[in-house]
Structure 1
Amino acid sequence: MQVIGLCRFSYPGIGGFQIEHDSLEDRIAFLYAPQRLEERFRFFECFTLPSIRAQLDPDFTFLIVIGDSLPPEHRARLQALVQDVPQVQIQAHPPGPHRDVMKAAINSVRDGDGPCLQFRLDDDDAVAVTFVARLRAAARQVAGLLDDHRHIALDFNRGFIARPGPNGIDATAIHKPLWTAGLALMLRPGVNVTVMNFAHHAMGRKMPTISFPTDNMMLRGHNDYNDSRQGDGVKPVRLTPLDAEGEQLFRDTYNIDADHVRRVFAQG
């Protein structure tokens, strides 16, 4: 069963953001602002990429979608970061309707019309190194549901919110159903909708949804530019520094190294 992960790296789509901009040019200027891009690169290097690099089941595709307007020096930096991860494919697309562009990108790497598993990660999120293996095993267990349903949601909803910085990692444990970092979609053969066709919080109203709440499987990055944190009335998240035991848990679970975090974020 094919497994595809999607990561949008500052792609300037039309729609797909909770932050509104007056024009596409304003959105591109916001996404490519030097301070914001530097933060995204550091989160991606310290959180997202280590978890993808260390997957125990290496049979998957991780598709990174960027804008064709991403400045060349930033595209070169991204390519350098992922060059040792054979599962990664980078696609550059012009601005377009967000869900349509993502659907076309995902379907361009689908391998025939067999059943497919799809997940999405923001460029500051991570998954456990067992995620692909656990996802594939869970899909085999519930595959019979595809006889009656076009798609099924598989929700690994335990993990952490975490913020990296020059002093290491601050974090808090969470159990949050239907958060994107631990959520996947299983598709019946021949169905060409994608994980990006559904609002993650509404999947439980659209299809059978099976929860796996026992193991730490997801990690949600917390930073100054979280799209979901820009609106009014957003509750603050209380994070505390990881101790030595917590740092070891992050290394074992997500392949996230607090010493590497400190080095990267100490660069100013």
Structure 2
Amino acid sequence: MEKTLSIAGLLRFSVLTTTYYTERFDTPEKTAGYLFSPERMKLRFHLFEHLCLPSLLKQTDQNFTAIVLTAKAMPERYLDRLKALLRPVPNIHCFPVGTGKHYRLIKQGYDRIPDNGVSHRALFRLDDDDAVDRDFIARTRRLATGLMALQTPETPFVIAHNRGFYLHKNDKEPEVFDAVERAPLSVGTTIVSPVDSPVNPYRFNHRNLPQHLNTFTDISQPAFIRTIHGDNKSRPAQIGLTHMMSEAGIDAELQAYFGIGSAQLKSL
């Protein structure tokens, strides 16, 4: 049987769940108060509109689907704004879901993606405050197609994009620095598997994926921009090499691979 491939991703945009943020809030109502506060919504929309979404719109290969998973409970003004942003984009869809367990809602989002008659899917994850390089889809397709030839048809495997940049927004001067990670990062991590496989990139902690699935890491070029700011759910940590490049080198690679310079990135 010929192996054929489609590429699809899922982005969470302020999803309200009963099993997320429980270390900080003991009821969904308190979680909602935090998630949908005006200050937080201003930050999330700003990073989504100026960093995350443009990185998908700039893809050299537009043959992919993305689901933006969000909450039905989001105040109407924010939900309308999100839908309006995505309405002109034919391959990126807003999918509001009810309040439930986090991973079940994630599965609902991926289940919305049609299989289009292919044998395999490459499913990636991306957060609403991060970005991928503009060749991300094309490179993922090339790597997945080649690596499928090395696997038995039913074997899921991971493609992790471990080289990129961080934007650290703090009270002082924002910092942009380079990194090559030792373990899979969340940004752009992809699982390639048969269409009927239940596994997706949120099934395991991204750092632990090599414990569960064959994992191939790509550092051939910068693939991600990860933002560190006051509203990160996790505590971002760099596990690997950092600060190896000059400022001029960083700016040149940001321009070449993301279409954004250091100064513009710092101003976000």
Q: TM-score range by the shorter chain?
A: 0.7 to 0.9
Give the SS at the match of 1:21.
coil
Question: Using the alignment, how far apart are the partners of 1:17 and 1:143 within structure 2?
Answer: 37
TM-score, length basis structure 1: 0.85
Picking from 121, 133, 141, the partner of 2:138 is 133
Structure 1 equivalent of residue 73 of structure 2: 69
Structure 2 equivalent of residue 93 of structure 1: 97
- Asked if 1:117 corresponds to 2:119, the answer is no
Give the SS at the match of 2:47.
helix
Q: How is 1:48-67 mapped onto 2 (pairs within 5 angstroms)? A: 48-67=52-71
Q: Do the aligned residues in 2 keep the contact of 1:146 with 1:188 (CA within 8 Å)?
A: no
Q: How is 1:179-194 mapped onto 2 (pairs within 5 angstroms)? A: 179-194=185-200
Question: Using the alignment, how far apart are the partners of 1:73 and 1:213 within structure 2?
Answer: 41
The two structures, once aligned, show a CA RMSD in angstroms of 2.8
Question: Using the alignment, how far apart are the partners of 1:15 and 1:252 within structure 2?
Answer: 40
Alpha-carbon distance, 1:62 to partner: 1.2
Give the SS at the match of 2:66.
strand
Question: Using the alignment, how far apart are the partners of 1:54 and 1:243 within structure 2?
Answer: 24
Structure 2 equivalent of residue 175 of structure 1: 180
Query: C-alpha offsets along residues 119-146 of structure 1, whole Å, 9 cap, x if unaligned?
Result: 1111101101000000010011110344
Alpha-carbon distance, 1:229 to partner: 2.4
Picking from 223, 228, 232, the partner of 2:234 is 228
Alpha-carbon distance, 1:262 to partner: 7.5
Change (3 A) 1:73 1:251: farther
Q: Which runs of 5+ in 2 are unaligned?
A: none
Alpha-carbon distance, 1:248 to partner: 4.8
Question: Using the alignment, how far apart are the partners of 2:250 and 2:90 within structure 1?
Answer: 29
Alpha-carbon distance, 1:259 to partner: 7.1
Structure 2 equivalent of residue 37 of structure 1: 41
- Asked if 1:103 corresponds to 2:107, the answer is yes
Question: Using the alignment, how far apart are the partners of 2:232 and 2:168 within structure 1?
Answer: 11
Alpha-carbon distance, 1:185 to partner: 0.5
Question: Using the alignment, how far apart are the partners of 1:83 and 1:262 within structure 2?
Answer: 28
TM-score, length basis structure 2: 0.85
Give the SS at the match of 1:80.
helix
Q: Sequence identity, in percent?
A: 25
Question: Using the alignment, how far apart are the partners of 1:168 and 1:244 within structure 2?
Answer: 17
Question: Using the alignment, how far apart are the partners of 2:205 and 2:6 within structure 1?
Answer: 22
Picking from 185, 202, 209, the partner of 1:203 is 209
Change (3 A) 1:113 1:199: farther
Query: C-alpha offsets along residues 148-173 of structure 1, whole Å, 9 cap, x if unaligned?
Result: 653100111000111469x9963110
Q: Which runs of 5+ in 1 are unaligned?
A: none
Between 1:68-77 and 1:89-98, the stretch displaced more is 68-77
Question: Using the alignment, how far apart are the partners of 2:169 and 2:48 within structure 1?
Answer: 11
Structure 2 equivalent of residue 143 of structure 1: 148
Picking from 10, 13, 16, the partner of 1:9 is 13
Query: C-alpha offsets along residues 17-66 of structure 1, whole Å, 9 cap, x if unaligned?
Result: 47431101011111111111111111111210111000011000111011
Question: Using the alignment, how far apart are the partners of 2:130 and 2:257 within structure 1?
Answer: 13
Q: Do the aligned residues in 1 keep the contact of 2:82 with 2:94 (CA within 8 Å)?
A: no
Alpha-carbon distance, 1:218 to partner: 1.2
Equivalent residue letter for 2:175: D
Equivalent residue letter for 2:51: F
